[in-house]
Amino acid sequence: MTDSLLTPETLSKQTYLAPQKRETIKQSIQSLEWALRGVSMYGGIEMPRDIVFPGMSPPEPEIVRESLEKDQALLHASTPPELSGLEKNRLYRRLKDLDETIKHDMPTYDMMEQPTMVNVEHHMAWEKLHKKHILERRNILRILDSENDSPFFTSVEQIRTSTPPKGDPRRFFQNFDYMQFQDAKEDEVAVVDDESYGRFLELKCAGWAEMTICKQLNWPKETYNAAMTRWRKAITDGSYTKFLELQAAGRPAAEIRALLGWSQDFYEDAMGRWQTSVGIPPQGEMPVAQQHHTVSYTMDEPLEPSLAPQEDAQVPDTPWFAPESEQVKGHAKSAEVAHRFLRRMQSLDLSITGVAKMLQLHHLTLGRKLKGKAMLTPDDVVALTALLDKVERERGYVPPDNMPSGGNPA
């Protein structure tokens, strides 16, 4: 069993059923198999072919087969996996840690019996905070004892105690907006005089770390943040005119960043400042019909032939029941096209996880296809090509060897 199936994220999203419910699904599967064989669904008894029941017709084989496949998939997904002794020991240790975490601020029996406002808010906050932990604990218990059919086996009530809770989960959700507002106001209030600011720049140019600068100048965190804000503002304001000149000339985004020594964040800030000044709404609020008129990039040099989208970058639509020869050809062509996509993604500094998130796909599924372990479909090719083309238009294309190293203040 792979470690990915034992992670807290996976266990908190999976649902393993009790033995009685799994047995019900097995009985449904048996009935559907009997129906496909042409015998009675209620016992598998052979029946004469000429018997006709008034007002009833035999089920369609395609519908029965589709229902059978759904039940089989449900049974496979809801059955706890078989684990080795080491894996069970690992899950048992995780179960003990979960019990301690859940009981840390768990409401007591008395609090659950007294529905006061404080107790209700405490319970609601505790349930919201530990929802994933409770689901993960339930699935671990199903895996460790898959045949236990007790109705209270996975109930979290078994670990509830009369000991007062050691923490208040309500504090985790209270006053977040107020605290962020206070931090922002403190950064605004912090003022750096010119003499201290000059000393700060000297130390920053010498490569001193944040903690060392604060210790040397006897600054709190807020004063250091104010000095960094002033520095960034001075750099951006000083080169903003040059940015407008390059932008008006239609230079690619990567070239602008390289000439000005900006990072991607600096470039996006300048773009936002320019768009605000000319009344262009953010990209997410712009009508779809006008989004491609916002900023246009012109390429000085064409893309490298090996990285540019190829006309023959298409994969055959090879179904699973195709002959073996077509399967081999399909795999070879899919691996070739996937390699091109990987090279384009590397040139744009895109990860498989990031691309999968933008395409709303599972990163493991997309990774298997791009690494040649599974075949790409024509729809995958169209979606990947459109996404990479869009990223290239927005960023501008720069070969990996000429990628700028940055130069922004850290």
**Structural domains of the chain, count:** 4
Cα 310 from chain centre: 30
pLDDT in tens, 172-228: 766 554 444 444 444 445 677 888 888 888 888 788 888 888 888 888 888 888 888
Q: Answer whether 122's CB lies under 8 Å from 169's CB.
A: yes
Confidence band for 300, pLDDT divided at 50, 70 and 90: very low
Is pLDDT of 303 > 70?
Answer: no
Inter-residue contact 1 to 87 (CB < 8 Å): yes
Condensed to tens digits (0 to 9), the pLDDT of residues 42-62 reads 776 776 555 665 666 666 788
- CATH number, domain of 335, equals 1.10.260
pLDDT over 80 at 21, yes or no: yes
Would you say 44 and 34 are in contact if contact means Cβ atoms under 8 Å apart? yes
Q: Is the CA virtual torsion 41, 45, 48, 54 positive or negative? A: negative
Q: What distances in angstroms separate CA 265 from CA 153, 211, 224, one per listed residue?
A: 52, 23, 20
Do residues 116 and 138 share a domain?
yes
Query: Are 230 and 144 part of one and the same domain?
Result: no
Per DSSP, helices labelled H in 38-116 are: 61-78, 85-104, 109-113
Domain region containing 114: 85-172
Q: Is the pLDDT of residue 9 over 60?
A: yes
Q: Which two tokens stand for residue 397?
A: 């294309």
Distance separating alpha carbons of residues 404 and 257, to the nearest angstrom? 8
If one counts every other C-beta atom within 10 angstroms of the C-beta of residue 298, the result is: 9
Alpha carbons 351 and 342: distance in angstroms, whole number: 9
What is the phi/psi pair of residue 13, to 5°? -110, -15
pLDDT at 277 over 60: yes
Determine, yes or no, domain membership for 51. Answer: yes
Between 325 and 97, the higher pLDDT residue: 97
pLDDT at site 330:
82
Residues 227, 258 share a domain:
yes
Residue 319's pLDDT band, with cuts at 50, 70 and 90, is low
* pLDDT, tens only, 107-144: 999 999 988 988 898 999 899 889 999 999 999 999 99
Helices (H), 156-220: 176-189, 194-205, 210-217
Residues 330 and 388 grouped into a single domain: yes
The whole-angstrom separation of Cα 272 and Cα 282 is 8
- CB distance 7 to 92 below 8 Å: no
Pair 274, 211 in one domain = yes
